[in-house]
């Protein structure tokens, strides 16, 4: 596992973009839970971390065309996106978030 960022770098209800081994990753915090997904919308080359976080459904929305993606599975729940984005295992170690890149 590689260090992604500090826990404090991701405020609750928001997303932040990080790059690990050349991969853009969106980290989302909902309450005390953290999620890591690919930061590029599968429909268009747009950063998901700039979109709105839907805490009630555990999704993030692509601001460009409105597709929403599950933070747990990466699957889109709305069109126009039809392909999932990758999800990454994330672990809290002390004050750091660690991500598994395979």
Query: Pairing state of beta strands 90-93 and 96-99?
Result: antiparallel
In which residue are the tokens 């050349």 written?
22
Domain that holds residue 62: 2-99
* CATH number of the structural domain spanning residue 66: 2.102.10.10
Residue 102: predicted pLDDT: 79
* Backbone dihedral region for residue 13 (phi beyond 0: left; psi -120 to 50: alpha; all else: beta): left
- Listed as own residue / partner, the contacts of 51-58 with beta carbons closer than 8 Å and 24 or more positions apart are 51/15, 53/13, 53/14, 53/15, 53/28, 55/13, 55/30, 55/31, 58/30
Residue range 10-55, pLDDT digits in tens: 999 999 999 999 999 999 999 999 999 999 999 999 999 999 999 9
- Does the pLDDT of residue 98 top 90, yes or no? yes
Tell me the average pLDDT of the chain: 96
In which residue are the tokens 């990753």 written?
25
- Does the pLDDT of residue 63 top 90, yes or no? yes
pTM of the model: 0.94
How many structural domains comprise the chain? 1
Residue 8: predicted pLDDT: 96
């Amino acid at each position: 596992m590689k260090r992604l960022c500090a826990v404090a770098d991701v405020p609750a209800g928001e997303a932040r973009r990080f790059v690990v081994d050349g991969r853009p990753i969106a980290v989302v915090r909902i309450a005390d839970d953290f999620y890591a997904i690919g930061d590029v919308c599968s429909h268009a080359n747009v950063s998901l971390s700039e979109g709105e976080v839907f805490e009630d459904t555990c999704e993030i929305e692509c601001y460009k065309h409105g597709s929403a993606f599950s933070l747990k599975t990466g699957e889109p729940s709305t069109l126009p996106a039809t392909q999932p984005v990758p999800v990454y295992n994330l672990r809290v170690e002390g004050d750091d978030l660690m991500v598994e890149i395979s």
